[in-house]
Amino acid sequence: MDCFSLETHSKDETMELGHKIASLLPNGSTLTFTGDLGAGKTTFVRGLARGLGITETVQSPTFNIMKIYMKGSRPLIHIDAYRLADIDTDIGLDEYIGYETGLTVIEWPEFIERLIPDNRIEVTILNKGGDNRSISIKSKDLKVLEGIKSCL
Ligand code: ADP
Ligand code: MG
């Protein structure tokens, strides 16, 4: 597993990061987003969505658990597993994770750990106070990681 980190200093910078890397992610990629409430997980996903040409408003699907955006260059599947903590009910999410022709992004992956593929791209966001965030991106897929690194 290789990893690199960077800092952002505003929500726009975090969105920009998502925007920039969107086109570098192969179809079928699963990205997980770990970090406290307000860390910036959804902000990053918003940037990714813009990078895919999705113009709809993107919010954490905390209540609905999953929201699918079909109007971009490829489908974006946005999962927020927060409400699945301690629930052992099969709601068929596995069919959407690693969706072959799109991207899957998952907030609170720790609650559905068993459903997440090994080749995930792990984004961890740490609130460093104020508008500063430390963002680390980790993956076993060194090619994808190199691609991301070199576009920043
Ligand atoms: P999460 O999905 O992790 O709960 P959100 O993306 O919904 O977090 O919220 C992040 C909040 O932090 C937003 O209010 C955003 O404006 C603010 N913020 C401040 N600085 C940053 C930054 N550098 N990156 C991302 N969000 C930031
Ligand atoms: Mg969120």
Q: Where are the domains of the chain?
A: 2-150
Ligand found nearest the CA of 7: 1
Verify whether ligand 1 is closer than 6 Å to residue 6 (CB atom): no
Query: 51-55, 58-62, 87-91 — which is least confidently predicted?
Result: 87-91
| CB of 46 sitting under 6 A from ligand 1 | no
pLDDT of res. 108: 96
- Give the C-alpha separation, 4 to 8, whole Å: 14
Verdict on whether the full-model pTM lies above 0.85: yes
- The three-class DSSP label of residue 138 is strand
User: In the CATH hierarchy, which fold is given to the domain comprising 2-150?
Assistant: Rossmann fold (3.40.50)
Q: What is the mean pLDDT of the chain?
A: 95
**Ligand 1 center to residue 41 CA distance, Å?**
7
Q: Is 30 in the pocket of ligand 1 (CB under 6 A)?
A: no
pLDDT at site 17: 97
Q: Which residues contact 44 (CB under 8 A, 6 or more apart)?
A: 14, 15, 17, 18, 33, 123, 125, 135
pLDDT at 89: 78
CA distance linking residue 125 with residue 147, whole number of Å: 20
**Average pLDDT score over residue span 31-59:** 98
Residue nearest to atom 23 of ligand 1 (CA): 10
Tokens of 27: 């179809």
120 in ligand 1 pocket by Cβ < 6 Å?
Answer: no
